[in-house]
A = this chain, B = another copy of it.
């Protein structure tokens, strides 16, 4: 029985777009209804090209190769009765197009940072300009932050889902259980030292993503002003002074490793920490809690999981939590599919394990 739902992906040419295409094409409950793939809305000219010209790894001997990536036209979109649109487009693009897509009655899962932030002070870093600021504000108010482990119910009924940032996903999932139980001594500050593979920097060739710069190297960037910081503050209910977040560029293709340092309010037994996380994630199929066995990047890349583990000092107060995920999957495409599953009332992990 073919799926009753039609999906579309904008911006399928990037790394997250390729993973989205792969996941949607193999999704068991979308069987018989291939997604429509569009180039970016700013590329209205040109002719359709086979998806597998863009991403040869997706080729097989019957089918995927036939799927074309089309230049975008509103007409084309409208005729298709698309139920959900995935935007793997630049922030500005997403900001501009979401109002119109919603008007057409489509639901949107936006992978950019355009709609993630509720507060103007946090959003300022994106320098977004709205044609109709009041309408944009109204949309912003109803946008749901698409982290299923925190907002499962709101996601299911959302019109616009703002898929979280890759770094933010790793850090929020690592801290949320401790914060819910008010275990952290915020007066001593939280340190988030994150490391990401190069795919996080996008597909456009730059000096920074040149092999000669990235290979055999490690560098830190955006100290005290990375865009994902606002997501941490809003989702975890923190003030700016409570947390430091430092991203680093790892010489690997994909994967994020966040080493997170907190001081607990009082001496705590490891079993209590273990229980805190087990309870919080008892019904979260996409989080793997491994307790005192620390996650490593190699075990999470090319999976849709966020892996979490911890180490506690003998004083029972100084705690390190490690979070690992694949920035293109749980940090982007898989999380988007997880949100789609919730939208359609399907099991959260469908097509992801």
Contacts and interface: CB of A to CB of B under 8 A. Distances in A.
A171 to B, nearest CB: 14
Contacts of A223: 294, 311, 320
Interface stretch (A38-46, A133-141, A208-216): A208-216
Interface stretch (A95-103, A146-154, A197-205): A197-205
A314 B225 CA distance: 10
A188 interface: yes
Query: In the assembly, how many copies of this chain are there?
Result: 4
A332 to B, nearest CB: 14
A217 B197 CA distance: 10
A124 to B, nearest CB: 14
Contact count band on A:
35 or more
Nearest to A215: B253
Contacts of A353: 60
A61 B318 contact: no
A255 B251 CA distance: 13
A294 B244 contact: no
A214 B199 CA distance: 12
Contacts of A312: 224
A314 B241 CA distance: 10
Contacts of A271: none
A219 interface: yes
A297 interface: yes
